[in-house]
C-alpha cells in the first residue's frame, strides 16, 4: 500500500535540541508530505517535497528525500515544547486522491 | 476561512443507538474524506467523495456504516446500530482535487459507545 512507515515510534528530547524523524515507503511517488497532529486535534499539513527535490526548508523544518532509497527525513531544529505532537509522512502520487497514514512518530519535547 | 468543521465535538451514546456525525468542508474543496483513528489501528480511511460522489468506500468496516454527501458543503457519516467497538475519533478532511494540494482536517468527533 502507499503508506509511509515512520521511525522511531516515539522520541523524547529536551527543548532546544534537534529532532529527527525518518520515513520509509515502498512505492514510486510524485511527492511526499509531512503532517503533524497535536493531541486532541486534527492533522495539519507541514510541508510537501516533490520527487525531483532532495531537500526543502520551511522555518525550523528541514525535509530530505532520497527516492533511490525510498526514504525521507524530517528535522525540527531548536525544538520547543509546542512541537510536542505526532508526525506522519505520506508518500503520494498526484493521480491518487486518497492519502493513507502510518502510525507516526510521537515526539515529546521536555521543557 | 473557518476550516473544516465537524460536529458534534464529542458524542456519547449507548450501544444500539444511531449516531450521525457531520462535516462541513472548506468552501471550494471538491474532495472529502472520512477517517477513523484509534490507538490500536491508527488512522484509517473509511470513504472519500469527489464532487459529492462516493469514489472508494472499501474502508467502511460494515454495513452499519453509511456516508452521504448531498451537496458540496455537507457530509454525514452514520452508524446504525452503534457498537462499543465503534468508539474512536472520527475525522473529516477536505482538499482541492488539483495537483499536490494538501488535506485539511477538522478537529474530529470523539465517539464513545457504551
pLDDT in tens, A61-77: 999 999 999 999 999 99
> What pLDDT shows up at residue A95?
67
Is the pLDDT confidence value at B26 over 80?
yes
The percent of residues above 70 in pLDDT, for chain A, comes to: 96
Where residue B98 falls among pLDDT bands split at 50, 70, 90? Answer: confident
A71-76 sheet: strands from edge to edge: A5-7, A19-24, A71-76, A61-66, A55-58
- For chain B, say whether A100 makes contact (Cβ under 8 Å): yes
- For chain A, say whether B4 makes contact (Cβ under 8 Å): yes
Mean pLDDT along residues B13-34 = 97
Where residue B29 falls among pLDDT bands split at 50, 70, 90? Answer: very high
Rounded to a whole number of angstroms, the distance from the CA of A47 to the nearest CA of chain B is 9
> What pLDDT shows up at residue A1?
58
> What pLDDT shows up at residue B33?
96
Look up residue B54 and give its three cell numbers.
Answer: 462516493
Q: How far apart are CA A52 and CA A68, in angstroms?
A: 11
> What pLDDT shows up at residue A79?
98
Through-space distance between the first and last CA atoms of chain A, rounded to whole angstroms? 38
Rg of chain A, C-alpha, whole Å: 13
A98 in Cβ contact with B33 (< 8 Å)? yes
Closest A-chain CA to B91: A42
Is the pLDDT confidence value at A96 over 80?
no
DSSP E strand boundaries for A1-111: 5-7, 10-14, 19-24, 31-37, 43-50, 55-58, 61-66, 71-76, 85-92, 105-110
Helix, strand, coil shares of chain B as percentages rounded to 5? 5, 55, 45
- For chain A, say whether B50 makes contact (Cβ under 8 Å): yes
Where residue B100 falls among pLDDT bands split at 50, 70, 90? Answer: confident
Name the nearest CA neighbour of A25 among A71, A86, A87.
A71
Cis peptide before B8 (omega within 30 of 0): yes
**Is the pLDDT higher at A2 or at B68?**
B68
Where residue A32 falls among pLDDT bands split at 50, 70, 90? Answer: very high
The percent of residues above 90 in pLDDT, for chain A, comes to: 87
State the best of A99, A102, A103, A104 to mutate against chain B, taking most chain B CBs within 10 Å.
A99
Look up residue B78 and give its three cell numbers.
Answer: 452514520
Find the Cα–Cα–Cα–Cα dihedral B54, B59, B63, B68, rounded to 10°.
Answer: -30
With H, G, I as helix, E, B as strand and everything else as coil, classify residue B4.
coil
**For residue B102, which residues of chain A lie inside 8 Å, CB to CB?**
33, 45, 48
Cβ–Cβ pairs < 8 A, chains A and B:
52
Which residue is associated with the grid cell 459507545? B113
> What pLDDT shows up at residue B71?
96
Question: What Å distances lie between residue B36 and A63, A94, B33, B69, CA to CA?
Answer: 27, 23, 10, 18
Rounded to a whole number of angstroms, the distance from the CA of B45 to the nearest CA of chain A is 7
The count of other CB atoms within 10 Å of the CB of residue B36 is 22
Name the nearest CA neighbour of A91 among A25, A42, A35, A36.
A25
Mean pLDDT along residues A27-55 = 95
Q: What is the mean pLDDT of chain A?
A: 94
**For residue A103, which residues of chain B lie inside 8 Å, CB to CB?**
42
State the best of A98, A103, A104 to mutate against chain B, taking most chain B CBs within 10 Å.
A98
**For residue B107, which residues of chain A lie inside 8 Å, CB to CB?**
40-42
**B102–A45: do the CB atoms touch at under 8 Å?**
yes
> What pLDDT shows up at residue A90?
94
Mean pLDDT along residues A105-109 = 98
Amino acid at each position: 500500500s502507499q503508506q509511509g512507515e515512520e521511525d522511531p515510534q516515539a522520541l523524547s528530547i529536551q527543548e532546544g535540541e534537534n529532532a529527527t524523524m525518518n520515513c520509509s515507503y515502498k512505492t514510486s511517488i510524485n511527492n511526499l508530505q509531512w503532517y503533524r497532529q497535536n493531541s486532541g486535534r486534527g492533522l495539519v499539513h507541514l510541508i510537501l517535497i516533490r520527487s525531483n527535490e532532495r531537500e526543502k526548508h520551511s522555518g525550523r523544518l528541514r525535509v530530505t528525500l532520497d527516492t533511490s532509497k525510498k526514504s525521507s527525513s524530517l528535522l525540527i531544529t531548536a525544538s520547543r515544547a509546542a512541537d510536542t505532537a505526532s508526525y506522519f509522512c505520506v508518500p503520494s502520487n498526484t493521480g491518487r486522491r486518497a492519502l493513507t497514514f502510518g502510525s507516526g512518530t510521537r515526539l515529546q519535547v521536555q521543557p | 476561512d473557518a476550516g473544516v468543521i465537524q460536529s458534534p465535538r464529542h458524542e456519547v451514546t449507548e450501544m444500539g443507538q444511531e449516531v450521525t456525525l457531520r462535516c462541513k468542508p472548506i468552501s471550494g474543496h471538491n474532495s472529502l474524506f472520512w477517517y477513523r483513528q484509534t490507538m490500536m489501528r491508527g488512522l484509517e480511511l473509511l470513504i472519500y467523495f469527489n464532487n459529492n460522489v462516493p469514489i472508494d468506500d472499501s474502508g467502511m468496516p460494515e454495513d452499519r456504516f453509511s456516508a452521504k454527501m448531498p451537496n458540496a458543503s455537507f457530509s454525514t457519516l452514520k452508524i446504525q446500530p452503534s457498537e462499543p467497538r465503534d468508539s474512536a475519533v472520527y475525522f473529516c478532511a477536505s482538499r482541492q482535487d488539483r495537483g499536490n494540494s494538501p488535506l485539511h482536517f477538522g478537529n474530529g468527533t470523539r465517539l464513545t459507545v457504551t
